[in-house]
Amino acid sequence: MKVLIVGATGTIGRAVAAELGRRHAVIAVGRSSGDIRMDMTDAGSIRAAFQKVGRVDAVVCTAGHVKFAPLEQMQAADFDIGLRDKLMGQVNLVLIGRESVSDGGSFTLTTGVLDSDPIRGGASASMVNGAVNAFVMAAAIEMPRGLRINAVSPGLITESAEALASYFRGFETVPAARAALAYSKSVEGAQTGRVYRVS
């Protein structure tokens, strides 16, 4: 298969690229590095990336930014960061990319443990992750041409744990390579409308 991985140079993205790259042709996409450049917050940039790549069999997104801060400090503009990037960035990947994905191909989006296990300072992440999960479940029943769509909701990634420790006290960690298996299950499996939780 020809697999487009958005966020392929990030911690999870590298692990997913390594896992899927053993069996498939991987195209790495990033905001500032990779085979193709893409800004997920810009529909024109997403469209241009798909035009460069042409037909693909699967799209995986491991990218997306949100703002972490105490709720009392959050303003509407702070929530807009996650809404424009991690939520609508991934939704637009599907809306724009669906015409570039082969019949029976797939989209795999990324949420995270805060969709069901919130923390202080993580209201934006919890909201966005929950919205992406709901979008995946709803979109699955309407995807054309046998296209599939799933999400992966990983726990705190071991390789990122030190940098995020102050937010995630008491959380068990998940190695990126183990999280990557859920993306493989989504891309290479047959299920749709699923949220694969890796904890």
Six-digit token string for 73: 């400090």
Q: Which of 1, 29, 7, 24 is nearest to 157 (CA)?
A: 7
Domains in the chain, start-ordered, CATH in brackets?
2-198 (3.40.50.720)
In the predicted structure, residue 165 carries a pLDDT above the cut 90: no
Strand order in the sheet with 56-61: 36-37, 25-30, 2-6, 56-61, 101-110, 148-154, 195-198
Six-digit token string for 114: 């805060």
CA distance 57 to 38: 18
Per-residue b/e over 112-132, b at no fewer than 16 CB within 10 Å?
A: bbbbeeebebbbbbbbbbbbb
Is the model's pTM score more than 0.85? yes
- Summarize the confidence of residues 18-26 as an average pLDDT: 98
- Summarize the confidence of residues 61-78 as an average pLDDT: 97
What digits encode the pLDDT tens for the residues 36-50?
999 999 999 999 999
181, 139 Cβ separation under 8 angstroms? no
- Summarize the confidence of residues 152-179 as an average pLDDT: 95
- Mean pLDDT, the chain, rounded, equals 97
**Phi, psi dihedrals of residue 111, rounded to the nearest 5°:** -120, -115
